[in-house]
């Protein structure tokens, strides 16, 4: 069902760590813009970036999402984008009258459809190269992309427009619509150089493509964006700060400090899974803020069907902590589920604890009270909660216990550090409805009666909402309340240690 289970093969070398990314929400028209004061080498340059996709481009509102694009009058453009068929395109298009059409058009055979994965993308433009097929090249995760259709390569000596004295945008188009929805990190622009992907990455001992430190020159108008700062101006303290030494800083557009996150290609954090947005009978969900903000809705007037959304990562052992903040509405759930016991028939989905399956626990609230549900039974009364609250869930996979808190106070007098004693815990199932042992649990959130819809924001340590206190799990994450001792953020670094 799309849950990622990181393994030893997914561990990364410690030699080069990426600490931050920028989260671009298409609904905010968020991007980073710059017009260069002097031009670079228009015949030769390399672009490198890591991306994590939130919205699939095949959805109706997501056609032609760009990662980086440049526009020049009267409408020529160039850059990387995911087209509405989910394929990656590295292109140069001219809209000049009498000469309109693609000057470079490279499209991958592979489709980018995994919202839980980080991809490394490299594009090379080298129009002076004597070999036509080397004038434009595209790489994904260290491998030159296999191309679909009939590729269009630049003619010999054709100037590109990237690096010129025209508007550049990251995450959108400078002069037209279309926004990228997802995360970007470790972006390089190497002016005047045609570089192999090995300048930016390498295969580790397990054959996994990972980033490495770039030690070359960025050229005249080159830049390196690491997204370590949170300011909203085009300077060294801004989200778009250039750390190459060229001071080619980008201006953040509709971005805030909360859009700088720890979710990166060297420590991939869980999000909610858009591939499961319509699994629940009678309802569906929409996603925003890097798949951390979920709006659920349903159409069943008897309030018996409740949309639920599931995390992209799950754990088979260890102890894990997550928070949820209601944004709007009046009825919400936060809980855990096992994909190993996940019903394949959509008419039997567990609805956050409302069906007779033992793999779901949820802490729910409506207007009157709060309840914990499992196996179509509820335990109450517990405190209700709303948009002024932060709800926490501590999942103990070593003892198959789960605990819930409201604003830092655990309900049922729970003590997540009580181990096998399970003080105030709710006990998880270890055997599924099919009789098989359950060894894997992830997190779920969603709607609940009597709301017609609800919007909520999940925090696996990479929050999209402002945190007033700022607590880590001892090393990673950013939480409103301190995770209990021995509990961790759901991310690949911690899964490699404890999962």
Measured between alpha carbons, how far is 207 from 203 in angstroms, rounded to an integer? 5
**How high is the pLDDT of residue 370?**
83
What pLDDT does residue 175 have?
67
The residue from 211, 227, 261 where one domain ends is 261
Cα 264 from chain centre: 9
Query: Same structural domain for residues 256 and 278?
Result: no
Tell whether 74 and 96 lie within a shared domain: yes
Same domain, 364 and 256: no
Q: Determine the pLDDT at residue 368.
A: 64
Establish if 8 belongs to a structural domain. Answer: no
Number of domains in the chain: 2
Examine residue 6 and state whether it is found in any structural domain, yes or no.
no
Domain membership flag for residue 402: yes
- The answer on 312 and 229 residing in a single domain is no
| Claim to verify: residue 405 and residue 330 sit in the same structural domain | yes
Residue 2 in any domain: the answer is no
* CATH number of domain containing 80: 2.60.120.200
Do residues 371 and 378 touch, judged by C-beta distance below 8 A? yes
Helices (H), strands (E): how many in the chain? 1, 31
Using the 3D structure, point to which of 235, 261, 287 is the last residue of a domain. 261
pLDDT of residue 58: 60
**184 and 281 assigned to the same domain:** no
Same domain for 35 and 150: yes
* Cα atoms in the Cβ-side hemisphere of radius 13 Å centred on 40: 26
> What domain range is 244 assigned to?
18-261
Residues 280 and 218 in one domain: no
| 204 in any annotated domain | yes
Q: What is the pTM of this model?
A: 0.92
Is 227 in the same domain as 293? no
Secondary structure (3-state) at 255: coil
Alpha carbon 140 to its chain's center = 18
Instruction: Look at residue 39 in the predicted model and tell me its pLDDT.
Output: 86
Please report, for residues 280, 443, 489, the alpha-carbon distance to residue 348 in angstroms, rounded to integers and kept in the order given: 9, 19, 31
Residue 247 shares a structural domain with residue 304: no
Q: What is the pLDDT of residue 306?
A: 61
pLDDT of residue 359: 65
Per the listing, tokens 């994590």 go with: 52
| pLDDT in the model for residue 50 | 98
Give the residue from 374, 383, 368, 380 showing the smallest Cα distance to 354. Answer: 374
What element of type H or E holds 78?
strand 76-82
Q: Which residues pair with 309 in a beta bridge?
A: 445
Instruction: For the chain of 499 residues, list the mean pLDDT of each consecutive stretch of 10.
Output: 38 74 94 92 97 76 68 77 84 81 94 93 97 98 95 96 92 79 96 98 95 96 97 98 98 97 98 74 78 80 64 96 93 85 49 52 75 74 90 97 97 97 93 79 78 85 95 98 98 96
The CATH number linked to 457 is 2.60.120.920
In a domain, 5, yes or no: no
Contact indicator for 427, 400 with CB cutoff of 8 Å = yes
- 284 and 312 share a domain? yes
């Amino acid at each position: 069902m799309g849950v990622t289970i990181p393994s030893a093969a997914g561990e990364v070398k410690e030699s080069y760590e990426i600490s931050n990314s920028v989260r671009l929400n298409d609904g905010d028209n968020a991007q980073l813009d710059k017009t260069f004061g002097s031009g670079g080498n228009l015949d030769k340059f390399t672009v490198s970036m890591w991306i994590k996709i939130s919205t699939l481009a095949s959805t109706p509102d997501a056609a032609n999402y760009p990662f980086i694009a440049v526009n020049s009058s009267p409408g020529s453009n160039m850059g990387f984008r995911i087209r509405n068929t989910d394929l990656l395109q590295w292109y140069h298009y001219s809209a000049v009258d009498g000469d309109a059409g693609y000057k470079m058009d490279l499209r991958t055979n592979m489709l980018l459809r995994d919202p839980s994965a980080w991809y490394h993308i490299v594009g090379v433009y080298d129009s002076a190269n004597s070999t036509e097929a080397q004038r434009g090249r595209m790489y994904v995760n260290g491998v030159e992309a296999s191309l679909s259709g009939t590729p269009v390569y630049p003619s010999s000596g054709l100037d590109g427009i990237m690096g010129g004295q025209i508007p550049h945008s990251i995450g959108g188009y400078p002069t037209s619509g279309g926004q990228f929805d997802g995360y970007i990190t470790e972006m390089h622009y190497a002016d005047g150089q045609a570089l192999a992907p090995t300048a930016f990455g390498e295969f580790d001992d397990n054959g996994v493509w990972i980033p490495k430190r770039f030690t070359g020159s960025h050229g005249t108008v080159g830049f390196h964006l690491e997204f370590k700062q949170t300011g909203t101006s085009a300077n060294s303290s801004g989200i778009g700060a250039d750390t190459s030494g060229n001071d080619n800083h980008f201006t953040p557009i509709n971005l805030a400090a909360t859009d700088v996150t720890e979710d990166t290609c060297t420590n991939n954090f869980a999000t909610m899974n858009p591939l499961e947005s319509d699994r629940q009978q009678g309802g569906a969900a929409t996603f925003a803020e890097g798949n951390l903000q979920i709006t659920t809705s349903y159409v069943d007037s008897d309030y018996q069907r409740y949309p639920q959304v599931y995390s992209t990562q799950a754990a088979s052992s260890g102890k894990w902590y997550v928070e949820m903040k209601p944004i709007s509405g009046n009825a919400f759930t936060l809980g855990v589920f096992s994909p190993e016991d996940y019903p394949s028939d959509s008419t039997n989905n567990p609805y956050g604890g409302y069906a007779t399956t033992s793999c779901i626990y949820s802490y729910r609230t409506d207007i009157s009270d709060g309840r914990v549900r499992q196996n179509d039974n509820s335990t109450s009364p517990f405190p209700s909660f709303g948009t002024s609250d932060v709800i926490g869930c501590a999942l103990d996979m070593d003892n198959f216990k789960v605990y819930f808190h409201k604003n830092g106070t655990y309900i049922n007098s729970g003590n997540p550090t009580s181990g096998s004693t399970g003080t105030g815990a709710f006990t998880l199932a270890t055997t599924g409805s099919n009789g098989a042992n359950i060894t894997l649990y992830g997190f779920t959130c969603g709607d609940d009666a009597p709301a017609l819809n609800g919007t909520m924001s999940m925090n696996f340590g990479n929050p999209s909402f402002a945190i007033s206190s700022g607590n880590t799990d001892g090393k990673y994450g950013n939480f409103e309340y301190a995770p209990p001792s021995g509990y961790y953020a759901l991310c690949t670094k911690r899964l490699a240690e404890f999962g």
